[in-house]
Amino acid sequence: MSVTQQLGGRGAHGRLPGAGAPGGGPREAAARYAVLPLRLFLGLTFLYAGIDKFTDAGPFSSAMSTDAMEQMLRFSREDAAAGWLADLALDHPGPLLGGAAVAEIAVGAGVLFGLLTRLAAAGGALLSFSFWLTVSWNADPYYFGQDLPYLFGFVTLLLAGPGPFALGRLLSARQAQRNRRLFG
């Protein structure tokens, strides 16, 4: 018997509200689907951002060209929290921007489809954190920096997991079923 049950607290008479019991009421459904809008937004945004860098003329589109990225880094480099990271990007703009684009595609697809969601969210948080340290660090006031909301959105997914409609869960369930047939 749990301490809550012994004391007659709220959890003593069944599941706590928002605990996500299947077939529950609206609060349980809201709790179950709470991360889905965040997953869709972050997944689509990062997938689009990564693909956009490879579309149009050449390896980067006109809006996100290597020259435009270099200018942005040079402009923000002086006040960046991690100037060394901006210097690294300026020394190797092609490979670093190409790697960032591939990482954005991988993060976006992983989060959107719910495959290795926590790993993809960790990658997205790392990308957003590095963008914040280099480009949007000196946004004043700080909440004008566009990378912080992405960072905390990814941290939320990292902590909460994929939620419903995740291919990773479907694949795990199928693998568990195969294992039961083989070893059960």
pLDDT digits (tens, 9 = 90+) for 88-130: 777 777 777 888 889 999 999 999 999 999 999 999 999 999 8
Beta strands in 9-65 (DSSP E): none
Q: CA 69: distance to chain centroid?
A: 22
Q: Is residue 171 part of a domain?
A: no
**What tokens does 28 get?**
């349980």
Q: Are 177 and 137 in contact (CB under 8 A)?
A: no
Q: Is residue 69 part of a domain?
A: yes
pLDDT > 70: what percent of the chain? 70
179 pLDDT above the threshold of 70? yes
pLDDT of residue 40: 95
150 pLDDT above the threshold of 70? yes
Q: How far apart are CA 141 and CA 37, in angstroms?
A: 27
Helix then strand count (H, E) for the chain reads: 9, 0
Q: What is the pLDDT of residues 62-88, one digit of tens each?
A: 555 566 666 666 666 677 666 677 777
**Confidence tier at 18 by pLDDT (50, 70, 90):** very low
Q: Is residue 110 part of a domain?
A: yes
Cβ-proximal residues to 7 (8 Å cutoff; 6+ apart), any chain? none
Number of domains in the chain: 1
17 pLDDT above the threshold of 50? no
47 pLDDT above the threshold of 70? yes
Q: Is residue 85 part of a domain?
A: yes
**Amino acid at the residue 152:** F
Domain of 76, in residue numbers: 36-160
Q: Which of 5-14, 48-57, 94-103 has the lowest mean pLDDT?
A: 5-14
Q: Is residue 86 part of a domain?
A: yes
Mean residue pLDDT of the chain comes to: 78
Higher pLDDT, 181 or 101: 101
**Confidence tier at 30 by pLDDT (50, 70, 90):** confident
**Confidence tier at 152 by pLDDT (50, 70, 90):** very high
pLDDT of residue 61: 53
Q: For helices 83-91 and 117-134, give the axis angle rounded to 10 degrees.
A: 100
- The pTM (predicted TM-score) of the whole model is 0.70
Q: Is residue 25 part of a domain?
A: no
Q: Is residue 76 part of a domain?
A: yes
Considering just the CA atoms, what is the radius of gyration of the chain in Å? 21
Q: Is residue 5 part of a domain?
A: no
